[in-house]
Amino acid sequence: MSLLKVKDLVTGLASGLAIVDGISFEIAAGETFALLGESGCGKSMTALSLMRLLPDGVANLSGDVVLGGVSLFDLPERLMRGIRGGSMAMIFQEPGLSLNPVMTVGAQIIEVLALHQGLSGALALQRCVELLAGVGIPDAAWRVNEYPFQLSGGMKQRVMIAMALAGKPRLLVADEPTTALDVTIQAQVLQLLRDTQASTGMAMLLITHDLGVVAETAHRVGVMYAGQIVEQASRQELFSRPLHPYTQKLFAALPQAGLRDQPLAAIPGSVPPLGSIVQGCRFAPRCDRAWSLCREQTPAWITLSEGEGVRCHLYDRIEDGGFRIEEKTPKLQDVAKPNPILNPESCILKVQDLQVHFPIRKGILQRVVGQVKAVDGVSLAIAKGKTLAIVGESGCGKTTLGKALLQLIPPTGGRVVFDGRALGARASMQMVFQDPYASLNPKMRVAEILEEGMSALKVGANSAARQAHIDGLLDKVGLERAAKWRYPHEFSGGQRQRIAIARALAVSPGLLICDEPTSALDVSVQAQILNLLKSLQQELNLSYLFITHNLAVVAYLAHEVCVMYLGRIVERGSTDDVMNHPAHPYTQALLSAVPRIDEGAREYIRLAGDLPSPANPPAGCHFAPRCPCVQDICREHYPNAVNVSESHVVHCHFQSISVDGMTALD
């Protein structure tokens, strides 16, 4: 029997323009139903519709939502407040914006306990500590009195989960609960949700665009596009035989090591604006199988079996015994072509023992009492026309390293040589930031944004020459030339990232530092950006320092990988060496935490605790307090570099004992 039934839900503007357009699905107790799709397709608005938390100007226009036999749309707001946070709770996408900054995390959880469990005083505080400990918050009795700004992103997300679970909900709505988290924290959060579900029988509506998260968490999946569910099936059916062309293209857009020498199958265009398609299939403008009927007639929902259906004209005749098109998910390639060993003589960038330390000052006289060692002796090299990826958890110093190379943060020590010269020619290196909307001036047109750096560095003889150069840049990044007279807010996220890349290319750099450029993008838009970066590298012989925590992107794009932990590089080597034969326990833990869409079994290595403070790093090996293989020598001495192979180096005492003895960590 279904706990939640959503029937023909329509949510939209007062004018009747639908944002969520007639969707239906059911969720049973103990089941996870995933809503999968690109940004702008209506997933989050569906969740807010269920909770009756819609923004001003948006309302539930028709349809019904029944939770445990009670129609939620018929309840007065007074009774709905008892449902919200009690029988049904929600984890929001951005915990930093959802938690009250002027209340301790304990006070916020106790509010829920008082309203939905009737607890107060010492009992409420005790239960609050139990909830925080249950979601993996270390020193919960102490953390209960801290404010949100004192917690890391992963800890804030776990506080949100604790708050949602405080009311013992029968249904949990999780809106992109792991989007901005590292793979290790993501794995912990997902395991926590699965364990809670197994112990309480809680149902879960999971909203995400991450196919790996869906593969490891969901029982059934609804694929959403432009306000409609276009395909619905069990997880096994969807991943073995996706039916709708949109679903097939989502799978094809996934970066994989085996596709390293090929462009990804990106989906052209973007989700259509509200009301722009009044008849026909909404995916037709982006579908390479569309024909005249797709543009003239809206496809009906076709039920293929119990719990499985599709909205596509390709399957119109199935119910009459007609044809059925089947396309299997592209298989992951187990063996990728090896990367050539990089020649040190061809390196465009050489970094030797780079340090970035921030002083800790206290007292009236602001005396220096310590140092935050954000980057602590990093050495690396990047060959011309190649990509070096820096991977690691948030807080390990990746972004600080990138900014120090550009002198946006002054290095404390070390040496940086770019193209044979000491660091100083900033035009030769440019940075593409993680959030293009925050890094582009909203008051400037694209032409002004691109020309600003060119004028400052005296690129181009005059304004006319610079405008001609801008036109060429827009051609290179796949934008129309007329787009240069528009403002950043008029573009999609993927288009804004293209503008950011064009700005970096405007001064003809030799090296681009890309700081998480695809972390917040849908898989289809991510494929477009990765294809662009790869084509630009081939055309202009660019070098990339690619900072990311997405290991699938690393496997597809990078030639070499450096694994960073607490300001130091613990392992480096060719992509195939590091991804296929990780030698350091930390690298193995990172790789074990990556969600996979194939059915192969894997063993998740759970790391204890959180990343230590760079202001007080542990003695000996920095990873020792969290390492499952730790021994006494690890706590006493930092390991020297050990050559596992000609192109593979690791800092680990296990490898010092026996280079051939990697089975000790496998």
Across residues 18-36, what is the average pLDDT? 94
Using the Cα atoms of residue 289, residue 599, residue 225 and residue 497 in order, give the sign of their dihedral.
negative
State the pLDDT at residue 320: 47
pLDDT at 44 over 70: yes
Residues 490, 495, 497, 501, Cα dihedral to 10°: -110
State the pLDDT at residue 508: 87
Q: pLDDT per residue over 80-116, tens digit each?
A: 988 998 899 999 877 777 899 999 999 999 999 999 9
Across residues 600-608, what is the average pLDDT? 73
State the pLDDT at residue 423: 66
Cβ-count burial 278-311 (b if 16+ within 10 Å, e if not):
eebbbbbbbbeebeeebeeeebebbebeeebbbb
Q: Highest-confidence range of 479-493, 507-521, 560-574, 603-617, by mean pLDDT?
A: 560-574
pTM of the model: 0.83
pLDDT at 572 over 90: yes
CATH for the stretch 344-421+520-664? 3.40.50.300
State the pLDDT at residue 180: 64
Per-residue pLDDT band at 663 (split at 50, 70, 90): very low
Per-residue pLDDT band at 484 (split at 50, 70, 90): very high
Q: pLDDT per residue over 494-543, tens digit each?
A: 788 889 999 999 988 999 999 988 876 788 888 888 998 999 999 989 99
Instruction: Give ∠ CA 249-228-303 in degrees, rounded to 5.
Output: 85
Percent of the chain with pLDDT over 70: 92
Across residues 136-143, what is the average pLDDT? 84
State the pLDDT at residue 293: 94
> How many whole angstroms separate alpha carbon 340 and alpha carbon 261?
13
Are the C-beta atoms of residues 124 and 114 closer than 8 Å to each other?
yes
**Secondary structure string (H, E, C) spanning 303-363:** EEECCEEECCHHHCCHHHCCCCCCCCCCCCCCCCCCCCCCCHHHEEEEEEEEEEEEEEEEC
Q: Establish whether domains 2-87+169-320 and 344-421+520-664 are of one fold.
A: yes
pLDDT at 408 over 80: yes
State the pLDDT at residue 426: 57
Instruction: Tell me whether strands 58-67 and 70-71 are parallel, antiparallel or unpaired.
Output: antiparallel
State the pLDDT at residue 375: 94
State the pLDDT at residue 336: 39
In DSSP terms, 390 is beta-bridged to: 547, 562
Are the C-beta atoms of residues 137 and 186 closer than 8 Å to each other?
no
> How many whole angstroms separate alpha carbon 408 and alpha carbon 194?
42
Across residues 452-473, what is the average pLDDT? 88
Per-residue pLDDT band at 595 (split at 50, 70, 90): confident
Are the C-beta atoms of residues 359 and 368 closer than 8 Å to each other?
yes
pLDDT at 318 over 80: no
- Write out the CATH class of domain 2-87+169-320: alpha beta
Every domain of the chain and the residues it spans: 2-87+169-320, 88-168, 344-421+520-664
φ/ψ of residue 495, rounded to 5:
-70, -40
* Average model confidence (pLDDT) across the chain: 86
Residues 6+ apart with CB under 8 A from 505: 430, 473, 476, 477, 512, 536, 540
pLDDT at 156 over 60: yes
Tokens 């230590």 -> residue: 612
pLDDT at 357 over 50: yes
State the pLDDT at residue 330: 40
Q: pLDDT per residue over 232-272, tens digit each?
A: 999 999 999 999 999 999 999 988 777 777 888 888 877 88
Number of C-beta neighbours around residue 475 at 10 A: 12
